[in-house]
Structure 1
């Protein structure tokens, strides 16, 4: 099963209409993600919600189950030439701290700096989520995608500690960006393998931060 987000009118890109048992086909051309040559999808409802801030960033989206033959994948999302939405399903509720935990967990897969790992352990166990600890963890030189993932995870944690709605949005974006940087760093591995790991960590984040 695959999953697709739409706006509240069940459209994507403004005019592409979806609904029960509705099929749309991408434009001709070599398939490439982030273009109109493929129709995008996610492999799990949680990934749709967690990664929405860095992809379409749909406000209050609808979530659909669907089917289509995947032909391209970057570890975060996939693309098919033709896709059918079969039924609308409830959108998972994800808190800001669950998003932060997800960002930290996925960063730990690719970033092994000791200072970051100590901070991550403190945040994940709840023993130290202070601003000073977060500042120390994000004070690094960003020469690799993994290091950028660490920075994004730190920004997410910092923003999660604030009360304003804008900070919650910033935390959501940063946590998703951490996953994207981690995926880029893990490009040496098969995208499908990384995607399965991403789903497992998303489930873990939701459970542990419940």
Structure 2
């Protein structure tokens, strides 16, 4: 009788072990984010074995002046979510080891180690330095700006550039550079690619003028 009891007990233990809930998180790799910017990483949480249990997600080890959020911080596999990592303008550039962690309702933990790279905008700014020639605008009623702009580094404003002939001859302006391809200041805004800069402004009639500049 004892033999049968032990056999049944072992069978129950083995069955429970076979049904242990496990999951995996797909889509994880090193993350690079610019200061004063954010990056989104799609993740897929998949059931690997056992019963489906709710999984709670978190990020550990983020440096100061950075933060994270999930579109769905928990769910029952299989499910997807998007992790957003944001670095504030005063985040310190560097490479930081962080962890993405999942814990299910059965107490199973899964951790993934990766690097978070916080970068500054120096490379983006440097790519804009030099002379750009006026090319076109979207609306003839916007008038004609000066025939060129000259862009240089702005050491007084973090991540800024100086623009000479800013919407007029010899006018100087400063704009903030975001490495997602946008420019901004208190009144104006713009975009940039490797071969074009667009400066935009609102008129008194609430029209938007877009002035395009290209490399000479």
Higher helix share: 1
Q: Which has the larger radius of gyration?
A: 2
Specify the TM-score bucket, using the shorter chain as the normaliser: under 0.3
TM-score (norm 1): 0.26
Structure with larger RCO (C-alpha < 8 A, sep 6+) = 1
